[in-house]
Amino acid sequence: MSVLTLQNISKSYGKIQALNNLSFEIPQGCVFGVLGPNGSGKTTLLSIILDVLKADSGSFLWFGQPGSPEQRKKIGSLLETPNFYHYLSAVNNLKITNSISGRGDYQGIDAVLQKVNLFERKDSRFSSYSLGMKQRLAIAAALLGDPKVLVLDEPTNGLDPVGIAEIRELIIELSKKGHTIIMASHLLDEVEKVCTHVAIIKKGSLLTTGAVEDVLADEDTIEISAADITALAAAMKDYGNNIKILPDGNFLQVSMPKGTARLEDVNNYCFSKGIVLNHLVFKKKRLEAKFFELTNN
């Protein structure tokens, strides 16, 4: 069952088309990364599914039902920036979250503040917090009441490396418990470490979506090297059809159709051409490479 279904969502700000006919589904229990360059429409998309913005056209369904306040109460959300009353403490801000959403209770507030390492400062005013502490409080608010679905917009914003690692662990832990996490991020390394599914959008249009391994594994890439790199490049041109060769310093990155890269065959082929390889590895494609490949086109 899909947790969220987007159907032809479009949104424009005057002449700027922020989202263009966007449709995809988010399966239950996944960690879903919404990726895109700055200004691609990630936050606009999350704002629409949380009813902060109204779509010009299209619709979305949470658990098969049109979005409603009752559904939002069950979703822990962090949208764009930590939004809290500056004159109130962490505890009093979370009491408001609890009062509106009905998620959690006063004991639960202490528990989530401990989880994000903010318990010691729980009675300090929000205005006295550092950027990272504000972000931690926003994550605590999203976690209150242990919601089954979390929407996190750039959750590691403002966090130090330790904080980033903690959030990563937290997301993995929640995922293992069966929670569905929808996160927008431009930190591709982080997304790759935690996400099971992704949607990549650019200028409001969907470029690709699906399970991370499916999105990445559209071709095989091997990395090879030899004493005479120029002769190696020339030889590899005749290896087969649909081959892409990219020089990378003393190496060559050779991409070929998915399932066709067999290291023994490549080694044999080069040897038959009189070239002895001194480096031969199968390269797993990084999300970052795929992202650039898609968004630069």
Partner 1 sequence: MYSMTQIVRTEWLKIKKYPAFWWVMGITALTYPGINYMFLNVYYDITQKRSGSGQIIQALLGNPFSFPEAWKTVGYFSSIFIFIPSIVIIMLITNEYTYKTNRQNIIDGWSRTNFMVAKLIDVLLLSLIVTGIYAVVAFVVGSINTTNLAAPRWSMAFYIGLFFLQLFSQLSLAFVVGFLIRKSFLALAVFVFYFFVEKISVLILSNKYHNEIGEFFPLEISHRLVPRPAFFGKFDEKAYQASLEAVQYHVGYATIVLIITWAFCFWINNRRDL
CA pair distance 233, 278, nearest whole angstrom: 14
Beta carbon of residue 82, minimum distance to partner 1 (angstroms, whole number): 9
The smaller minimum CB distance to partner 1, of residues 144 and 275, is found at 144
Per CB under 8 A, which of residues 18..37 are in contact with partner 1?
Answer: none
How many residues lie near partner 1 (CB under 8 A)?
27
Contacts of 276 (CB under 8 A, 6+ apart): 226, 227, 270
Distance of CA 14 to the CA centre of its chain: 28
The answer to whether 40 contacts partner 1 (rule: CB under 8 A) is no
CA angle 182, 184, 185 (to 5 degrees): 135
Stretch that binds partner 1, among 44-52, 191-199, 204-212, 235-243 (CB under 8 A): 44-52
d(CA 9, CA 288): 26
Instruction: Give the end-to-end CA distance of the chain in Å, rounded to a whole number.
Output: 33
User: Rule CB under 8 A: is residue 83 a binding residue for partner 1?
Assistant: yes
Token couple for 64: 């098969």
Under the criterion CB under 8 A, does residue 121 sit at the interface with partner 1? no
- Chain residues 132-151 in contact with partner 1, contact rule CB under 8 A: 141
Least separation, in Å, of the C-beta of 106 and partner 1? 12
Query: Which of 24, 32, 62, 84 forms a contact with partner 1 (CB under 8 A)?
Result: 84
Decide: is 52 part of the binding site for partner 1 (CB under 8 A).
yes
Q: Which stretch binds partner 1 (CB under 8 A): 47-55, 170-178, 191-199, 207-215?
A: 47-55
**CA–CA gap between residue 164 and residue 176 (Å, rounded):** 18
Q: DSSP string of 74-129?
A: TEEEE-SS----TTSBHHHHHHHHHHHH--S-HHHHHHHHHHTT-GGGTTSBGGGS
Cβ-based nearer residue to partner 1, 96 or 281: 96
Judged by the rule CB under 8 A, the positions of this chain that interact with partner 1 are 50-54, 69-70, 72-73, 77, 79, 81, 83-88, 92, 95-97, 99-102, 141
